[in-house]
Amino acid sequence: MNEQKKQPKSVLALGMFDGVHVGHRALLSQAAAAARSLSAQTVAFTFTDAPGKLLHLPVTSLSTPSQRTQWLLEAGADRVDMVDFTRDFADLSPEDFMGYLRARYDIAALAAGFNYTFGRQGAGTAETLRQLGERHGFQVLIAEPVLVAGEPVSSTRIRTMIGRGDMGAARALLGRPYTLLGQVVSARHIGHALGYPTANLLTGEQLLPPDGVYATVASVDDGAYPAVTNVGKNPTVAGRQRTVETYILNEDLSLYGAELSVSFLARLREERTFPSLEALSRQIGRDVEAAKKLFESEKKTVYNPEGL
């Protein structure tokens, strides 16, 4: 790895920050406060992909790199440095990883979570960071766990909630609705035939909630719109691939090729097979009405209220 020219004095916040949940934001807030007192910049140092991907393990993320960057900046980082996790990084000892950081940054302080690990096979811990800070003369800030419902917030816990379809619980841990980001692609246009035109979202490696129908908020450019989203294979029309299809209520938007984010508020029902397209269309109408009732409580928080 090539060493780079040292940067201005920095407080480094270390972590994968997948989802940038309420615990991550507490860590960034602590780092930013330290940076102000030290006349330093706050830098979130993270990796583009989870280390498990290098080991060819199945990896599903709570956020894309662009989402993480945006949310880390909103949480208090002055900049986000996102580097690829390579075999060279995987082979570094904790001391060598610290050497890499010291060559790259003028470190005033380091901030990390209580369960942060680093270095070869995760040999470095929060205590290792404290020892390295004492050795090299910089502060080390270890953030305590943030508790929700009496348990520490973690990306793993959030994945469990999403896997159950409990979008409300996931939202409490994230501090925002769980949001998929992807490009709108052309599909089978079955929704148009049913009177409910949908945007088909290409989502990449983000974790999908269980198959079913959800009340969501669809955001594109500067607009956020109430929507209903189906995750699944569309068994009524003999679908074979799992898709994410979003119907935006009372809007006629040209979205093909656009980047669209879909935020999940609540699961309305499981996906099921209907005896006919007419029966499916009637159920979608009922789904839309159920979603509208839920949106009434969300008007001032997550989307533009016009159009309901």
Architecture (CATH level 2) of domain 177-298: Beta Barrel (2.40)
Where are the chain's structural domains? 9-151, 177-298
Mean pLDDT confidence for 56-77? 91
261-302 pLDDT, tens per residue? Answer: 999 999 999 988 888 888 888 888 999 999 999 988 776 555
**For the whole prediction, is pTM greater than 0.75?**
yes
229-270 pLDDT, tens per residue? Answer: 999 987 766 666 888 999 999 777 778 888 999 999 999 999
Quote the pLDDT of residue 307.
42
Quote the pLDDT of residue 179.
97
Does 124 score more than 70 pLDDT? yes
Inter-residue contact 259 to 292 (CB < 8 Å): no
128-142 pLDDT, tens per residue? Answer: 999 999 999 999 999
Rg (CA), the chain: 22
3-state SS of the chain is: CCCCCCCCEEEEEECCCCCCCHHHHHHHHHHHHHHHHCCCEEEEEEECCCHHHHCCCCCCECCCHHHHHHHHHHHCCCEEEEECCCHHHHHCCHHHHHHHHHHHCEEEEEEEECCCCECHHHCECHHHHHHHHHHHCCEEEEECCCEECCEECCHHHHHHHHHCCCHHHHHHHHCCCEEEEEEEECCCCHHHHHCCCCEEEECCCECCCCCEEEEEEEEECCEEEEEEEEEECCHHHCCCCCEEEEEECCCCCCCCCCEEEEEEEEEEECCCCCCCHHHHHHHHHHHHHHHHHHHHHHCCCCCCCCCC
Q: How confident is the model at residue 308 (pLDDT cuts 50, 70, 90)?
A: very low
Mean pLDDT confidence for 157-182? 96
Quote the pLDDT of residue 116.
93
Does 52 score more than 80 pLDDT? no
Does 202 score more than 70 pLDDT? yes
Distance CA 122, CA 94 (A): 8
203-213 pLDDT, tens per residue? Answer: 888 999 999 99
Distance CA 75, CA 47 (A): 17
76-85 pLDDT, tens per residue? Answer: 999 999 999 8
The fold adopted by the segment(s) 9-151 is Rossmann fold (3.40.50)
Quote the pLDDT of residue 50.
80
Q: How confident is the model at residue 188 (pLDDT cuts 50, 70, 90)?
A: low
Across all residues in the chain, what is the average pLDDT? 88
Distance CA 91, CA 84 (A): 14
